[in-house]
Amino acid sequence: MKRIADHLSDVKNKQVIVRCNFDVPIEEGVVQDTTRIEDSLSTIKLLRENSCKLILLSHHGRPDGSYHESMSLKPVSEVVRELVGEPVDFLSYQEDVAELRPSNEANITLVDNLRFWAGEEENDMEFAQKLSSFGEVYVNQAFANCHRKHASMVSLPTLLPAYAGVALANEVEILSKARNNPDKPLAVIIGGAKLETKEPLVSVFTDVADNILVGGKVALDLQEKNSEMPSNVTVADMIENGKDITKESAEKFAQIVQQAATVIWNGTMGVFEEEEYQAGTKILAEAVNTTSAFTIVGGGDTETALTELALQDGIDFISSGGGAMLTFLSDGKLVALTALEKAT
């Protein structure tokens, strides 16, 4: 996988397609959180410093291959303009994506929501070929979508010289170290509601982690399965209604976190959206925020919880994609990264 930062001489003055992750909350035409847009700035600014003209591609929501005005990326173009400090042309949806023509005047152009076209999620090669006509080079800056076998993620990079964006390459490097060569002791915290997505992580880290700490509905489901857990897996006790872990379990987890050298956390400890069931997550978040360990957090619910509790400042790395992070940590690969590795 080639990093764009190492190959700037190959792309200087060229027209570059950048696959971004601008799947941000938009209400009444106003972007509510710019974090994911800011994640792409390192790549966008680096390419502009090297006189590249940029075509930005992204998805937003799940429009199922048809146009929905409420899911248009038009509001995002205004945020990008403000953040980069130069004009950004916006190409509104047309039935045939090939009818879109980037402006010769603007140096940055944002194409409307890729998922308005059915060919994106269908991984249609003809659709990918039409997208490839927008530029001479492809850069992937959308780690959070790298587990999706979509046209702009896996087919487009086979049609052009392809590179990993700055933040994407950094995220892969950090997660690879955490998976393959973490500083020890390693504590892995697994919570949330979906056992089917979290159980593979338990299996993978059984031979690597010193402690695997399980809470949330995942803990309940494991208890119901009544499976014998390895000695390094601790399943939290839950309060009577099962909506949070007990204070005793939370404090036990927090003590383990404070003694760790690396901490990976994905998933809240209870039904965090209900205030009365935030205690377990809060106790753990305070420990993760203050430990001297290198801390990695992933998953939208976990990140939201840390933000709402104002306990995110001590986190060393927040993954841009919960699902992609889980898949990468479990499997060691992602379909879009494989496509980059195969690219010329």
On the question of a cis peptide bond just before residue 161, with omega within 30 degrees of 0, the verdict is: no
Q: Which residues contact 3 (CB under 8 A, 6 or more apart)?
A: 163, 164, 166, 169
Quote the CA–CA distance of 277 and 270 in Å, as a whole number: 6
Domain boundaries, the chain: 4-169, 182-330
Q: What share of the chain is helix, strand, coil (3-state, %, to 5)?
A: 45, 15, 40
CB-based burial label for 258 (10 Å; 0-12, 13-18, 19+): middle
What is the reported pLDDT for 7?
95
C-alpha triplet 213, 216, 220: angle, nearest 5°: 95
Here the tokens at position 251 are 């404090």
Report the 10 Å Cβ neighbour count for 33. Answer: 12
Residue 54 DSSP SS3: strand
Report DSSP state, residue 7.
-
* Whether 73 contacts 22, CB under 8 Å: yes
Q: List the one residue out of 275, 236, 227 whose CA is nearest residue 256.
A: 236
Report the 10 Å Cβ neighbour count for 341. Answer: 13
What is the reported pLDDT for 344?
62
Q: List the one residue out of 148, 152, 168, 142 whose CA is nearest residue 4.
A: 168
> Same CATH topology for 4-169 and 182-330?
yes
Taking the CA atoms of 42, 46, 48 and 52 in sequence, report the sign of the dihedral they define. Answer: negative
Quote the CA–CA distance of 301 and 5 in Å, as a whole number: 32
pLDDT tens, position by position, for the chain (344 residues)? 899 999 999 999 999 999 999 999 999 999 998 989 999 999 999 999 999 999 999 999 999 999 999 999 999 999 999 999 999 999 999 999 999 998 888 999 999 999 999 999 999 999 999 999 999 999 999 999 999 999 999 999 999 999 999 999 999 999 999 999 999 999 999 998 888 888 888 888 998 999 999 999 999 998 888 778 899 999 999 999 999 999 999 999 999 999 999 999 999 999 999 999 999 999 999 999 999 999 999 887 898 899 899 998 999 999 988 889 999 998 899 999 999 998 86
What would be the CATH architecture of the domain defined by 182-330?
Answer: 3-Layer(aba) Sandwich (3.40)
CATH of domain 4-169: 3.40.50.1260
Give me the sheet containing 89-91, strands edge to edge: 89-91, 108-111, 53-57, 15-19, 137-140, 162-164
CB-based burial label for 255 (10 Å; 0-12, 13-18, 19+): exposed
Q: List the one residue out of 266, 273, 42 whose CA is nearest residue 164.
A: 42
What is the reported pLDDT for 303?
87
Residue 40 DSSP SS3: coil
> In what helix (H) or strand (E) does residue 335 lie, and over which residues does it extend?
helix 335-342
